[in-house]
Chains A and B, each alone.
Chain A
Amino acid sequence: MVIQKMKTFNTSMRPVLVALTAVTFFSLCVNMQLAQAQTKVGYAEKEELKIGFIKLTDMAPLAVAYEKGYFEDEGLYVTLEAQANWKVLLDRVIDGELDGAHMLAGQPLGATIGFGTQAHIITALSMDLNGNAITVSNDVWAQMKPNIKHENGRPVHPITADALKPVVDKYAAQGKPFKMGMVFPVSTHNYELRYWLAAGGIHPGYYAPHKGDTSGQIDAQALLSVTPPPQMPATMEAGTIDGYCVGEPWNQQAVIKGIGVPVITDYEIWKNNPEKVFGVSAKWAEENPNTHIRVVKAIIRAAMWLDENDNVNRVEAVKMLSRSTYVGADEEVIANSMTGTFEYEKGDKREIPDFNVFFRYNATYPFFSDAVWYLTQMRRWGQIEEPKSDDWFMATAKKVYKPKIYAVAAKELISEGKAKASDFPDFATETGFKPPQSEFIDNVTYDATKPNAYLDSFAIGLKADSKI
């Protein structure tokens, strides 16, 4: 086309055009090279990695990627290391002691916007959907039970916090605080617990970081505080808290030990909610782009293995997780939820095949809309103290969630024949925004493109332009 046009021009323009063609040609070559580079990811810049995790069943993709040799297939020699709590884990990713970690979805967002420790953390991979539950002590359960509808002698699920409200009111009348545990201020569990409580008319309290109040208990009817996941059952047993929201196996542990009763799973609070992510520091990702893609590849393969053929591999996964270096709880406790069932009251075991989702429903894809939801909840409870524009929510989500890296990893797996294109979203058209979702316990519709309007639709919580 360029050559054809050239003929029509007078001779004095020729040298310029020749130069132009040369530039076009050169840039084409570069583009082709880039395209080639995209189809073949180079060797890992860093071969020995240390990845941190918290003892929860949703660390399973990491354990599987290690045990099945997926990390080694990528030329990575990974050491998996259990961390004491979420704060330690985050701090160690920030100071570089860990190359990456199994993180709460809110952690990269919270760190990047500077709630708690400030650091730019990114994620290119979601690790799972669902997998949490809210458990109350036997005593609270006994008081809640009369408020719950029964059918065939069994409570009707999902149980809303309306059943808990009279109990909380009674505590208030007696001047006793009603205390519940969650795992971290920016944890999924904190937002889920707050969502559930608020949906039942119980105020979970505001944060006011600009006033130095990060307890999250301003105006609270239920006082929430942080307890590391593995210590939840022991803390409730000691009577320090009356209930908690945590991932597995720590709810099933309470049932089996007979110290508490799970009342609702997060699947029932928000169907297929995003849960953990694989987080790395932005600096690390910049220095080790190939390594990052390769780690993501290995974890995607592990997630596929975990969900293969209707969870056929889950039994093997449970064995793996019960080893003391991973989750370490008893096999039967882990198996309860990992194999698609969930035990509420002792003996009341129900089918929840999607309690732990690792790959199906595009579970591993880092959706911007998931990031925006966490940001709306941070705003709703005052962790973000100032009103923010819709654009701010979008920009922040894009600063932290990196679907492009995911796409490179996924395409690589497809070209290696380790995955099918149909396993993933269509990368050419995927916007990263899920269509409006309404499968929440209070039936409020969530449209990720209108975060401020979403905030205004809640009865309890900060509105789009309100401040503490």
Chain B
Amino acid sequence: MMKTNIAPVMFRKIQRNVIRERFFAGLNAILLPIIGILIFIALWAAVAKNIDTSLGEFPGPTQVWQQSFILFDEHNAQQEKAQAFYERQEKRSAKRVADDPDYVLTLKVFTGAPTFFDQIWTSLYTVAVGFFVASIIAVPLGILCGLSKGTYAAINPLIQLFKPVSPLAWLPLVTMLVSAVYVSDDPMFSKSFITSAVTVSLCCLWPTLINTAVGVSSIDKDLINVSKVLRLNAFKHVLKIVLPSSIPAIFTGLRLSLGIGWMVLIAAEMLAQNPGLGKFVWDEFQNGSSESLARIMVAVLTIGVIGFILDRLMLSVQRHVSWDKSVSLR
């Protein structure tokens, strides 16, 4: 009797446990992050009140929240000013053309200072270009290193030498190099943009390069044998065997690179005074007004959120193209 009863009881117990586990897992996924954030905000608010800097109280969550709206308003106000600027320009240009028929009319871009949102856009654009350039160099080079031990041996010392170099050490060299080499009367890109992008590229190279090389060199022997049996030529071998099998590794490298690129960019912009979020932070620091710290905090959070979004984007791309869906990606 006893024995026959045990099974359903056990079953129910297990079922209950599973439900409970699932419930808690769901709870964990949603609730715990919220609890974490709330605790952080509460701590921040409590601590901020007690820190007195020479620029006034350290900004708490409320001030930062308010400041983000002010920044938004400023952006809108600047937008209106730009509108007025173009209207004035149109009238002035019409008059000039009437007075001076030889005049070659060109549109002058709005001369107002970039707002916070303009700076976000500039930074994103710069990092995208720098990252793209780095990737189209690093991936082929990485494949080459992975395929041929000789190339790897030749390049490896250079990788090891330059990988740990801080972007800020590169910056002065890059700045001087760009202003010496990039000379044109009507430049398509501003020098500051090129400087930032090149600095980002220099630091984005290494993780992609190394991961690609490692990924390529650790391809399953069976796959290589298959390629040999089928007598694939070098190009097909890379396309059909090497690339597909090393994609997870390549993307791991790309993700790391993008993260590094984003961090490097902010630092480069700050130091070299190139337009972007980094410059925004530095300018606000220099202003030293009672609102500066709150505005910097808005920028800090924005940089964090954007970094997070970039990472998630890369992750979803990686998931999409990766053949090995079983690997947990975090």
Contacts and interface: CB of A to CB of B under 8 A. Distances in A.
Interface of A: 43, 47-48, 55, 66, 69, 72, 75, 77-80, 82-84, 88, 95, 97, 228, 230-231, 233-234, 237, 253, 257-259, 322, 324-325, 327-330, 333
A259 to B, nearest CB: 6
B288 A77 contact: no
Contact of B287 (A72, A78, A88, A230): A230
B153 interface: no
A398 to B, nearest CB: 31
Contacts of B285: 230
B289 interface: yes
Given A77-B111, A78-B111, A324-B295, A259 B287 contact: no
Contacts of B111: 48, 66, 77-80
Contact of A329 (B54, B96, B179, B288): B288
A53 to B, nearest CB: 12
B290 A330 contact: yes
A216 B89 CA distance: 50
B54 A324 contact: no
A231 B108 contact: no
B177 interface: no
A79 B110 CA distance: 8
Interface of B: 54-55, 88-89, 92, 96, 100, 103, 106, 108-109, 111, 113, 179, 191, 273, 282-290, 292, 295
Contact of A324 (B88, B100, B191, B284): B284
B92 A72 contact: yes
Contact of A77 (B89, B103, B273, B290): B89
17 contacts: A43-B96, A55-B287, A72-B88, A75-B96, A77-B108, A80-B113, A82-B283, A88-B273, A230-B285, A230-B286, A257-B54, A324-B287, A325-B283, A327-B287, A328-B283, A328-B288, A328-B292
A194 B142 CA distance: 59
A344 B111 CA distance: 38
Residue among B55, B96, B289 facing the most chain A CB atoms (10 A cut-off): B289
A43 B88 contact: no
B92 A329 contact: no
Nearest to B191: A97
A75 B54 CA distance: 43
A325 B108 contact: no
Given A43-B100, A88-B273, A233-B54, A322 B289 contact: yes
Contacts of A97: 179, 191
B54 A237 contact: yes
B42 to A, nearest CB: 29
A48 B109 CA distance: 9
A75 B287 contact: no
A79 B190 CA distance: 14
Contacts of B287: 55, 230, 324, 327-329
Nearest to A333: B289
A325 B115 CA distance: 9
B283 A324 contact: yes
Nearest to B96: A75
B109 to A, nearest CB: 8
Contacts of B89: 77
A290 to B, nearest CB: 13
A328 B286 contact: yes
A333 B55 CA distance: 12
Contact of B286 (A48, A55, A72, A75): A55
Given A48-B109, A328-B286, 9 more contacts: A43-B100, A66-B111, A72-B92, A228-B286, A230-B288, A325-B113, A325-B283, A329-B287, A329-B289
A69 B112 CA distance: 12
Contacts of B295: 324
Contacts of A257: 54-55
A195 B327 CA distance: 72
Nearest to A91: B179
A105 to B, nearest CB: 22
Contacts of B290: 330
B57 to A, nearest CB: 13
B92 A75 contact: yes
Contacts of B289: 322, 324, 328-330, 333
A204 B171 CA distance: 34
A95 B179 contact: yes
Return the 7 tightest CB-CB contacts between A and B, nearest first: A328-B287, A325-B113, A230-B286, A257-B54, A77-B108, A79-B111, A84-B273
B104 to A, nearest CB: 11
A115 B298 CA distance: 42
A259 B56 CA distance: 12
Nearest to B95: A75
B273 A328 contact: no
Contacts of B179: 95, 97
Contacts of A327: 287
Contacts of B55: 257
Contacts of B273: 83-84, 88
Nearest to A72: B88
Contacts of A324: 283-284, 287, 289, 292, 295
A447 B27 CA distance: 84
Contacts of A48: 108-109, 111
A231 B286 contact: yes
Contacts of B88: 69, 72
A66 B112 CA distance: 9
Contacts of B96: 43, 75
A322 B290 CA distance: 11
Nearest to B113: A325
Given A48-B108, A80-B113, A259 B284 contact: no
Contacts of B108: 47-48, 77
Contacts of A78: 111
Q: Which among A75, A79, A80 has the highest number of chain B CB atoms within 10 Å? A: A79
Contacts of A333: 289
A468 B111 CA distance: 49
Contacts of A230: 285-288
Contacts of A77: 89, 108, 111
B247 to A, nearest CB: 42
A352 B179 CA distance: 45
Contacts of A330: 289-290
Nearest to B271: A84
